[in-house]
């Protein structure tokens, strides 16, 4: 994954959710060791939701989201309930490649 052009990462997830929690954690593990010097990272972890019964079905678990900011100012909001880590990587790489090409053309 190209992390060079990401400037901010903000995510909210529950680690006990087998689907979205895993994707979010995998994404955070893909960031390089010096990520916190180059980008703003804000991670919020939710407590484990009570098992869904008829009584508390009115209060659903808040959706897990991943908000990314890029160097050109683009904001990317990814829904972790639907996307897997491969899809997230694809989305990030598609925009990062574009930025990389622009940078090459301007000669920086």
- Using the minimum distance from each CB to other proteins, give the nearer residue, 51 or 60: 51
Q: Give 35's contacts (C-beta < 8 A, 6+ positions apart).
A: 3, 9, 41
2 binds other proteins per the rule CB under 8 A: no
8 binds other proteins per the rule CB under 8 A: no
What's the start-to-end Cα distance of the chain, in Å? 21
Q: How far is the CB of 26 from other proteins (least distance, A)?
A: 6
Determine which residue in the list 2, 10, 22, 93 makes contact with other proteins, applying CB under 8 A.
22
67 binds other proteins per the rule CB under 8 A: no
Helix runs in the chain, H state only: 20-30, 35-38, 85-106
Determine which residue in the list 48, 86, 94, 97 makes contact with other proteins, applying CB under 8 A.
48
Question: What angle do helix axes 85-106 and 20-30 make, rounded to 10 degrees?
Answer: 30
Under DSSP, is residue 50 helix (H, G, I), strand (E, B) or coil? coil
User: Residues interacting with other proteins, by CB under 8 A?
Assistant: 15-18, 21-22, 25-26, 28-29, 31-33, 35-36, 41, 43, 45, 47-48
């Amino acid at each position: 994954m190209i992390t060079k052009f990401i400037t901010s990462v903000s995510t909210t997830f529950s680690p006990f959710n087998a689907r979205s929690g895993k994707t979010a954690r995998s994404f955070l593990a893909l960031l390089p060791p010096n990520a916190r010097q180059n980008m703003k990272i804000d991670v919020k972890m939710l407590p484990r939701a009570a098992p869904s019964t008829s009584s508390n079905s009115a209060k659903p678990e808040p959706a897990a989201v991943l908000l990314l900011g890029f160097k050109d100012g683009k904001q990317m909001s990814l829904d972790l309930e639907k996307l897997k880590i491969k899809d997230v990587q694809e989305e990030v790489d598609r925009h990062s490649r574009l930025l990389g090409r622009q940078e090459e053309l301007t000669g920086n």
